[in-house]
Structures are given as structure tokens and as C-alpha cells.
């Protein structure tokens, strides 16, 4: 008999649904079906895959409000944020459709190195096989489309494993994929219990794993996956730097949007703010003024800016991190208030550079401010973290921007914007414990493909 699990609304703890985990027999049958579907999927012309993905974009657009409502109920994300997520998901499907037509290789002249002249190498990209796509709770539709879209565009079959909290929205998405024309032997959803994940990740019928989530889970995947190709998009402890020449109003707005939206539950949230002494007081005062006016409450209310975190245990963990920072001398400029799964926007000052909140990732609406006078002071502090995903800087000093771009351990540095900047056709990913490989539709297609060369 399959194990059962319940999904609760983080806002009011109402029951959203009761479901059964997939048994191991069901998982193996699903993998066998996807393996059998590989020849058909490889033989499907790129133009047909592109047309399916274009229809998926249309269906996501038509059903955006229903899916946004589901996202809000499942995750506690505000309805405004959920609508933005659906716009991103539509864009991801459109980009996947367009990139499906643009997969191209190259021709190489063997005479470049003697004595191998007289031959031409035709290099093509081919699908890996079956991709296991594992998604987190915080962007259940957008991240799923960022995986399913390029995996399908590349000609792979897909085993989709969402977070259990997102069961209903994931089922809705898969139904839309089928309606768009994806064959059932090209895409399947499964929900094995945690105890079965190691043997799923190790299964010989899985050819690659595309995972977004935490570093601990990624280490477990890497430990058992063997020679499979891994695309791991993990956490971040992303810095936002504000220099004396910054537009303070724009910097404050970015800080709020990139930290307090989605209740701070983003890998690219502005998790550490480094404010130059010359503008520190002005920045802090305006930040506290604007953040204190944010509406906290029912995520279905369009006026709400901060909803609950995913569950009460997560809120308690955030509170412990804040308390640890306070024990090391930090002070509260705003917030430090908790009600159930709600963490009110919190701003901390005088935070020790080696405190947990500055070194590790805090997945919630807490913003530590660090005052500095010289850039050389903050570079080692920023790099003294296991993570290196993205960063942001507010400055018009191009020489400084170029210097920090080279010095900081990040995959992307956004200028006059927050570290949460992402668009579908840019590469996305980090260094160190922030992951392996790159997402972004074109780049993800390459990650989920291999080169094959014809010599003629």
C-alpha cells in the first residue's frame, strides 16, 4: 500500500489535498515507459517539438490565473508574485519553442592539424535520453517549465518530480503539456517518497538529473548518481552592494523587491546588503520607512506584499538564525516579529561578518546591513561563503564594476539592479555550492544534450 501525504495551505493550515506517493513498482514502470518512448521522441522533428511548446505557452497563458491561485494556496506566495511567476513560465515555454528550432552544431576542417587533412567533422547535438527533473516549492510552475521546456526541445523524455507541496499545480501543468501535444511516453510525473530518491537518482534508466533545491540534497544526488550528467541549481547568499554614487531610491526599491518578495524564499534574493558609509544612514532610513509600510497577511489579497513562509518550522529556523546574529551583537532596525508561518520583514544592523546570516543562506525575509568604507574590505567577506550565485551593485563607476565582476565569486553580477535579475535567454547558475552547469533555455538545452560527430 502506498504511503499517504497531505498538503496544507501555509496561510491558514487548511487541507488542500491528500495524495499517495508513487510506489517503487510504479516508478520502474514509468521509467520503462519513458525509455520505450525515447526513439519516437528522438525522431520527432524540431519543428514539431517547437509547435508543441508554442501551444504549451498559449495554454499557460489561458490558464494563468487558475495556476496562480493554486501556487498561492500551495506555497503562501502572494497572488501578485504568483502572477509574475506565470508570466515567466509563459516566456520560458516561448523561448523553449524558439530554441528548439535553433539547435545547431558546426563543421570542422580536419586539415587544421597535419596530417589529418581531407576530412570534415560534422558536429551535432543529440538528446541524452531520459532526464529526471526535480523542482522545489518556491517557483513550482516557472522552474518546472524551465526544465521541461528545454529537455523536451532537445528531444529527451522527462520524468518530472515536483515537491510534494506542489502536487496539484504539477498535475495541472502536466495535463497542459499533454493537451499541447507532448506524448505521455515523453513526459511523466512521479512522486516517490524521500526514502526511494537515492535509488531513483541511481537508476540506470535515468540519463541526467536536472535539480533545483538545497545543497544537502544535491550532495546526496551526486553521491549516488554515478556517471550521469548533473545540472544542479542550488542556493545562494547573494550580495547587494550600494556605493556612494548610487540612486538611493532605486537601490532601496531593489533591496525590498529582491529580498522581501516571495517572503525571501528565493535562491537569488538579496541576502546580504553592503552599504557604503557615505550613504548608509540615508539608505537605512529610507529602507526602514518603505519596508515598514509593506502589507503582511493574506497572500490572496492583491495588496499583500509579504505572505507566510512555506511552513511554521521554516519560520522557526529563520528566527533561530536571527537570534544567533543578535547574540553576536547585531541590532534590530525593523521587524523581528513572528506569527505562525509569518516572518515580518526584518532589517538587522551591526551584523558580524562571520555570523551565520552573513555566511550561510537564510531563506526568509531578513535583511542584514553591513556598513563599509572601502571595497577591498567587503570582497573577502562576500567570498567567504560556500555559495556564489549572483550579485548586484548600485554604482555608475564602470571601472569598479569591472573590478568586482572579476573579484567576486558569482555567476552573474547585475549593475544598478538586485541579484535576483533573471531572464529566460541569459545563462543562469553559480559557482561553488551554488551549483553545477547553467540554466537559461539555450544553455539548458546544451546541458541536456551531447555532441555527436560525423567524419566525412
Please identify every residue annotated as catalytic. 233
For 334, other C-beta atoms within 10 Å of its C-beta total 19
Return d(Cα 10, Cα 185) in angstroms, integer. 34
Pairing of strands 366-372, 270-276: parallel
- The closest of 432, 138, 66, 64 to 311, measured between CA atoms, is 138
Q: What is the maximal distance between C-alpha atoms in the chain?
A: 74
Pairing of strands 449-455, 120-127: antiparallel
- Residues in CB range of 219: below 8 A, 6 or more apart: none
What is the SS3 assignment for 409? coil
Print the SS3 string covering 25-51.
Answer: HHHHHHHHHHHHHHHHHHHCCHHHHHH
The 3-state DSSP composition of the chain as helix, strand, coil percent (nearest 5) reads: 45, 25, 35
Query: With the C-alpha atoms ordered 81, 82, 83, 84, is the resulting torsion angle positive or negative?
Result: positive
What is the SS3 assignment for 147? helix
Return d(Cα 280, Cα 246) in angstroms, integer. 11
Helix (H) or strand (E) holding 240: strand 238-242
Q: Judge whether 301 and 333 are in contact, CB under 8 Å.
A: no
- The closest of 347, 381, 443 to 150, measured between CA atoms, is 443
| Sole residue written with cell 551526486 | 222
Q: Judge whether 401 and 246 are in contact, CB under 8 Å.
A: no
13 Rama class: left (phi>0) / alpha (psi -120 to 50) / beta: left
For the chain, the residue count is 456
Amino acid at each position: 500500500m502506498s504511503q499517504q501525504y497531505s498538503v496544507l495551505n501555509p496561510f491558514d493550515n487548511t487541507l488542500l489535498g491528500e495524495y499517495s506517493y508513487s510506489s517503487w513498482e510504479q516508478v520502474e514502470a514509468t521509467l520503462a515507459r519513458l525509455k520505450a518512448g525515447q526513439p519516437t521522441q528522438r525522431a520527432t522533428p524540431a519543428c514539431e517539438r517547437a509547435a508543441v511548446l508554442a501551444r504549451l505557452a498559449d495554454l499557460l497563458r489561458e490558464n494563468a490565473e487558475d495556476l496562480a491561485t493554486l501556487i498561492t494556496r500551495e506555497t503562501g506566495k502572494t497572488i501578485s508574485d504568483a502572477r509574475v511567476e506565470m508570466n515567466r513560465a509563459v516566456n520560458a515555454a516561448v523561448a523553449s519553442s524558439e530554441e528548439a528550432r535553433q539547435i545547431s552544431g558546426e563543421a570542422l576542417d580536419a586539415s587544421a592539424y597535419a596530417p589529418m587533412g581531407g576530412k570534415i567533422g560534422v558536429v551535432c547535438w543529440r538528446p541524452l535520453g531520459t532526464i529526471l527533473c526535480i523542482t522545489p516549492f518556491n517557483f513550482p510552475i516557472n522552474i518546472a517549465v524551465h526544465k521541461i521546456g528545454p529537455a523536451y526541445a532537445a528531444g529527451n523524455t522527462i520524468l518530472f518530480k515536483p515537491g510534494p507541496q506542489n502536487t496539484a499545480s504539477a498535475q495541472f501543468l502536466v495535463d497542459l503539456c499533454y493537451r499541447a501535444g507532448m506524448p505521455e511516453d515523453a513526459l511523466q510525473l512521479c512522486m516517490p517518497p524521500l526514502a526511494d530518491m537515492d535509488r531513483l537518482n541511481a537508476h540506470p534508466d535515468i540519463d541526467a538529473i536536472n535539480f533545483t533545491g538545497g545543497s544537502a540534497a544535491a550532495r546526496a544526488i551526486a553521491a549516488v548518481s554515478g556517471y550521469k550528467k548533473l545540472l544542479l541549481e542550488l542556493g545562494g547568499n547573494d550580495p547587494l552592494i550600494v556605493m556612494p554614487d548610487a540612486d538611493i531610491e532605486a537601490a532601496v526599491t531593489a533591496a525590498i523587491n529582491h529580498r522581501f518578495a516571495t517572503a525571501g524564499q528565493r535562491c537569488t534574493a538579496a541576502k546580504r546588503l553592503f552599504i557604503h558609509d557615505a550613504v548608509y544612514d540615508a539608505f537605512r532610513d529610507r529602507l526602514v520607512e518603505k519596508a515598514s509600510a509593506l502589507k503582511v497577511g493574506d497572500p490572496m489579497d492583491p495588496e499583500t506584499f509579504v505572505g507566510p513562509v512555506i511552513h511554521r518550522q521554516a519560520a522557526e529556523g529563520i528566527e533561530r538564525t536571527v537570534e544567533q546574529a543578535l547574540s553576536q551583537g547585531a541590532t534590530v532596525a525593523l521587524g523581528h516579529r513572528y506569527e505562525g508561518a509569518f516572518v515580518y520583514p526584518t532589517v538587522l544592523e551591526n551584523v558580524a561578518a562571520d555570523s551565520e546570516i552573513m555566511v550561510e543562506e537564510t531563506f526568509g525575509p531578513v535583511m542584514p546591513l553591513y556598513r563599509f568604507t572601502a571595497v577591498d574590505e567587503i570582497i573577502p567577506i562576500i567570498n567567504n561563503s560556500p555559495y556564489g550565485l549572483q550579485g548586484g551593485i548600485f554604482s555608475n563607476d564602470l571601472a569598479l564594476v569591472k573590478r568586482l565582476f572579476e573579484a567576486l565569486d558569482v555567476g552573474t553580477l547585475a549593475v544598478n539592479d538586485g541579484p535576483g535579475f533573471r531572464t529566460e535567454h541569459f545563462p543562469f547558475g553559480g559557482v561553488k555550492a551554488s551549483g553545477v552547469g547553467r540554466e537559461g533555455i539555450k544553455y539548458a538545452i546544451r546541458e541536456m544534450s551531447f555532441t555527436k560527430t560525423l567524419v566525412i
